[in-house]
Amino acid sequence: MRDLWDGLPIVAQEMLLLGAWLLPILLIGAALLYGFAATRLIRDMLWRFRWANLTFVILIAVAVGMGSALIAQERGLRQGSAKAADKFDLLVTPPGSEMTMMLAAVYLQPSDVGLLNGPTYQQIARHERVEIAAPLAFGDSYQRSPIVGTTAQFTRHLTDDSVEGRLWETTYEAVVGAAAELAIGDTFQPSHGVGVEAGLEADPHDAHFEVVGRMPRTGSPWDRAILMPVEAVWEVHGLANGHAPERRDQLGPPFDADYFPGTPAIIVKAEELWANYALRSEFSRNENTMAFFPATVLTDLYRVMGDVRQAMSITTLVTQMLVAASVLLALLILSRLFARQMALLRALGAPNRFLMAVVWGYCAVLILGGTLLGLGVGQGAASVLSAVITQRTDILVEARLGWQEIRLAAAFAGITLALAMLPALAVLRQPTVTHLRS
């Protein structure tokens, strides 16, 4: 049986799980409504108490929508952060915290980290299996954009060689991300520091840079970054530019170890995928370096987020059950509003199953309507939250409701509609004569 289930397509599995939650609703509805024309009476009840009904529908929609939005948002954040790290195959950094170095190099979070020296860089760059060994230089900014010094080779790799305009050809040219507040042809002067510390130290060279290219949107914090030759970042800080005096105008590798000021991280791309594992093992054995896959660090982070997601799912389900209990209690109270009509139907000889069908059908419309509306509310809330997170983190988050949220909504509807038999049974226990006299 397990092999049969595993052999089914994912969509088929999801449909069967969804059907398992909806099956009780279909069975109860068929058992109660078969042979009766209760639709018109249910519609009249919905219209007569329309404002109270609308309140219940909105309450259910908010409960379902907020829970669905939070779970979808967590999944969207995982997917967005993983996509942002796609181009970073292997990071080689000074020994320390892998998380700190990943946040600094991949997500451009300001960090105070050590530097790798020239001989270490040369050892990596000259390795026979290394295709790209790009040093990074951080610490400067312009307005809200961090400035990153790197190589043209890595910029092509990051953008799939699709830069609008062109790459830099001189030291004082730059390429900006898709979300940077600069256009091709603009000039700017960097500030030392990032964030609140920016501009506290004057630029000793009073350097002005010209924007010559714009990167396509990558869905990562690099969309707001300004990329320039790593030599330029070193020079504006009064350091050597990585090349001997006779090659001072050269941009990019090879660098001279004696004139290499240092780099906090080296982005490494191997010629073949399998070689990345060998390179990680080799550079991790060196006491001066630490090599790791950003994807591995993200996996550990997702493991923690997975626990959070499970807790969120349980909390959402408990919250929805509390809302369901509140709705059922309110429906029990609301059933007294049409107790006289039910009593009249019983006096006219309406069978008990018909009365239960009317009350249960009335509850079913409210619960199913609120649940479906809740999925729409959840998608809207997820879109708003995604826009806020994208704006705050520069990680493109696109949260959409998936099968998990739909199953959760179906579970809520199925359990609540099964419990909706209670208001229907309560109607049968009400004294007919008393309500006819009221």
- Is residue 204 pLDDT above 50, yes or no? no
- Is pLDDT at 347 greater than 70 in this prediction? no
The percent of residues in the chain predicted with pLDDT above 70, rounded, is 84
DSSP state of 277: H
**What's the pLDDT at 341?**
62
Q: What percent of the chain has pLDDT over 90?
A: 7
Tell me what the pLDDT averaged over the chain comes to. 80
Q: Which of 222, 306, 255, 300 is nearest to 116 (CA)?
A: 255
Pairwise CA distance, residues 152 & 412, whole Å:
54
* pLDDT of res. 29: 78
Q: How confident is the model at residue 348 (pLDDT cuts 50, 70, 90)?
A: low
> What pLDDT score does 202 carry?
41
> Which residues touch 402 (CB under 8 Å, ≥6 apart)?
72, 75
Q: What is the DSSP letter of 293?
A: -
Q: Tell me, what's the pLDDT at 201?
A: 46
User: Once rounded to an integer, what is the mean pLDDT over residues 181-202?
Assistant: 69
Q: CB-based contacts of 347: which residues, under 8 Å, 6+ apart?
A: 432, 436
What's the start-to-end Cα distance of the chain, in Å? 59
Helices 352-393, 421-428: crossing angle, 10 deg rounding: 150
Higher-pLDDT residue of 433 and 178 is 178
d(CA 140, CA 116): 19
Say whether pLDDT at 65 is over 70. Answer: yes
Q: Among 27-41, 90-104, 160-174, 259-273, whose mean pLDDT is lowest? A: 27-41
Query: pLDDT class for 176, splitting at 50, 70, 90?
Result: very high
Q: Which of 327, 325, 324 is nearest to 55 (CA)?
A: 327
Could you tell me which residues are beta bridge partners of residue 228?
149
The pLDDT, as a whole number, for residue 254 is: 87
Region 121-149: what's the mean pLDDT? 87
- Over the stretch 8-62, which tens digit does the pLDDT of each residue have? 677 777 777 777 777 777 887 777 777 777 788 788 878 877 888 888 888 888 8
Tell whether the model's pLDDT for residue 127 goes beyond 90: no
Predicted pLDDT of residue 200: 44
Mean predicted confidence (pLDDT) in 119-141: 87
- Joined tokens for residue 144: 């809200």
Average pLDDT score over residue span 211-215: 91
> Which pLDDT score is estimated for 340?
62
* 17, two tokens: 């799980």
Residue 91: is its pLDDT beyond 80?
yes
| Domain ranges (residues) in the chain | 10-83+301-437, 90-292
Cβ neighbours for 326, distance < 8 A, ≥ 6 positions apart: 59
Lowest mean pLDDT among 9-13, 65-69, 380-384: 9-13
- What's the confidence (pLDDT) of residue 1? 62
Q: Averaged over 275-300, what is the pLDDT? A: 83
**The predicted structure's pLDDT at residue 393:** 76
405-436 pLDDT, tens per residue?
888 888 888 888 888 787 767 666 655 545 54
Q: What crossing angle do the helices spanning 421-428 and 294-334 adopt, rounded to 10°?
A: 10
More confident residue, 151 or 358: 151
Question: Distance between CA 69 and CA 11 in Å, rounded?
Answer: 21
pLDDT band with cut points at 50, 70 and 90 for residue 196: very low
Which residue type, as a one-letter code, is found at position 139?
G
42 neighbors 361 (Cβ within 8 angstroms):
yes
Nearest to 262 by CA among 291, 227, 224, 289: 289
